[in-house]
Structure formats: C-alpha cells, structure tokens
Amino acid sequence: MDKWRERSDHSGRQVTDGVRRKQKGVFLMAGFLDRAKEQAQRGLAQGKQKYDDVQTQRTGSELLKKLGAAYYAERRGSGDPAATQRALEAVESHIVTHGDGFLPR
C-alpha cells in the first residue's frame, strides 16, 4: 500500500497519509519538547533556589565565626569591644534579612 496515496479523513478532507503522519509526529514532538522545557526550567529554578539557600547559610556561618572570634579576642584582652559590637550587628542584620535558619539549634 502506497503511504502517499490520497484518502479522506473523518472530516471528509483529502489528506495524504505521509503528510498526516508527519504533522501528527511534529505535534507530538512539539508537545513533548514543551513539557521537557517546562520541567527543565522548574529544575533550574529549584537548583538556583537551593544554591541561594546554601550561600545564605555559608554567609551566616561566616558571620557567626567572626562574632565568636571577636568575642574571644575581647575576653582574652586583645580584642576591641567595638569589633565585637560590629560583628554582632552584622549577624543581627543577616537574621533580619534572611531569617535565623543558619543558627545552630
């Protein structure tokens, strides 16, 4: 049977089997690619969110480390109380902006 022979479809139009199959395949492929693109974009957004969360955690941990070092130096007599206060204000600012999720429980 010749796949290019003309015949009528359900609407009564004359179509060619080869063209109809190609169009159907293109539509199916386009739908598949659209879904794949949407899924890839969702995955990318989730990955970016996770990256941002990790960076926020790291920044908070670094600020806590600096606060601890400033406090320790102050208690040992070699530190400046103003440096401890600045470190504390930096931690508090980070908490206001990003929450306290980086604090140890």
Q: Which pLDDT score is estimated for 23?
A: 57
Within a domain: residue 46? yes
Q: Are 20 and 7 in contact (CB under 8 A)?
A: no
Within a domain: residue 1? no
Percent of the chain past pLDDT 90, that is, above it, reads: 62
Within a domain: residue 77? yes
User: At how many degrees (to 10) do helices 81-98 and 17-76 cross?
Assistant: 150
Residue 20, domain extent: 16-98
Within a domain: residue 50? yes
Summarised one tens digit per residue, pLDDT across range 49-69 is: 999 999 999 999 999 999 999
Distance CA 15, CA 9 (A): 7
Weakly modelled stretches of the chain, pLDDT under 70: 1-28
